[in-house]
Amino acid sequence: MHSLRVFVQTAAMAGVAFSLPSGTSTAKRATCTVNSVDTASDLSDCSAVVIEAFTVSSGNTVTISAASGATITMSGDVTFSKTSSDGPLFTIDTDDVTFNGNGYTVDGQGAEYWDGEGTNGGVDKPHPFIKIKGSGTFSDFTVLNSPAQAVSVGTDGTTTIKGVTIDNSDGDVDELGHNTDGFDVSAEDVTITGCTVKNQDDCIAINDGGSITFSNNTCSGGHGISIGSISSDKSVSDVTITGNTVTNSMYGTRIKVKAAATDASVSGITYSGNTISGISKYGVLISQSYPDDVGTVGTGGPISDVNFTGDTTKVTVDSGAVNVAVNCGACSGTWDWSALEASGGDEGDIDSDDATISGGTY
């Protein structure tokens, strides 16, 4: 060790360049500022990042990838110009991050794209608008006017998303907003809580993963709370949906498995204490015939253990809507629906295959 110290001192005095022994770490930068696409390009050694207000020019995307355990704080709005770039336009990819939006906005300027066709045609729309990767806590920011799907969650560790607002309500004008899902989740160990979603499609769509909690959120204007649509080779399990409010939407809650799905499954879904009203199509729908609501069922995506327990989930649908419908070709288990109260509209068919549904008012 003495000889190494002498060598370092002598080399430094002589102006000689040398490399430290392998395993010697370099210090992280304390705070990095992002105020352009260029300043976001290399944050890998930043333990703290401050995102100032800036506009992203057409053709560019932004990825915030800081050191593991970093704190990322917004101090201004980020606005994306209309672009032909593919989504995601804004990616947060840091492990064990604390991301605090401080109430600021990430603006996708969706009205520049909306044409009533969403991702089914018309103008190309980058989607998703925002991708959340890595892991950690993401809080207190607004996603405004996403071109199509708003936030995709594909994290790889324990993650909490809280106090986030997704506001695509401007897309209600002339029904131009379409496929504006709030949260699309394909991940494990995720909690989304205290968020607000105003849109024209699913408030949340859980497409793959497990150990997911969706709690105390407010959804309006869209298609309600969804498990799926479930595609081949996708499975969703251990999901708790509790304390949410859904208003003025096409659906209240749905489980939708594609009729053509194979090697797929849905299991362990629990609803508790949700309040659902102003529903124009189905209050509660469980179906294995997607894209049909009720049609020819598939059997390659079995559903088991769907329960309404704990605090009462109250569902009120509009005249002409269906309060509860089940359309199963491969469902099983004993489902406890004792804490479900659904009223209004029409009674739907309950075809639960081998599942036994007990309790509930509908």
Spatial CA neighbour of 97 closest among 56, 139, 144:
139
Q: pTM for this structure?
A: 0.92
Active-site option among 201, 202, 208, 305: 201
Active-site option among 184, 223, 305, 336: 223
Q: Could you give the CA distance from residue 67 to residue 58 in angstroms, rounded to a whole number?
A: 28
Say which DSSP state 110 is in.
Answer: G
| pLDDT tens track for 154-174 | 999 999 999 999 999 999 999
Residue 134 contacts residue 97 (beta carbons within 8 Å): yes
Q: Can you give the pLDDT of all 362 residues of the chain as single tens digits?
A: 333 333 333 333 343 343 444 443 445 678 999 999 999 999 999 999 999 999 999 999 999 999 999 999 999 999 999 999 999 999 999 999 999 999 999 999 999 999 999 999 999 999 999 999 999 999 999 999 999 999 999 999 999 999 999 999 999 999 999 999 999 999 999 999 999 999 999 999 999 999 999 999 999 999 999 999 999 999 999 999 999 999 999 999 999 999 999 999 999 999 999 999 999 999 999 999 999 999 999 999 999 999 999 999 999 999 999 999 999 999 999 999 999 999 999 999 999 999 999 999 99
CATH superfamily name and code, 202-362: Single-stranded right-handed beta-helix, Pectin lyase-like (2.160.20.10)
Q: Is 223 a catalytic residue?
A: yes
Cβ atoms within 10 A of the Cβ of 120, count? Answer: 10
Q: Which two tokens stand for residue 344?
A: 């209004």
What residues form DSSP beta bridges with 326? 286, 350
| pLDDT tens track for 197-224 | 999 999 999 999 999 999 999 999 999 9
Q: Is 354 a catalytic residue?
A: no
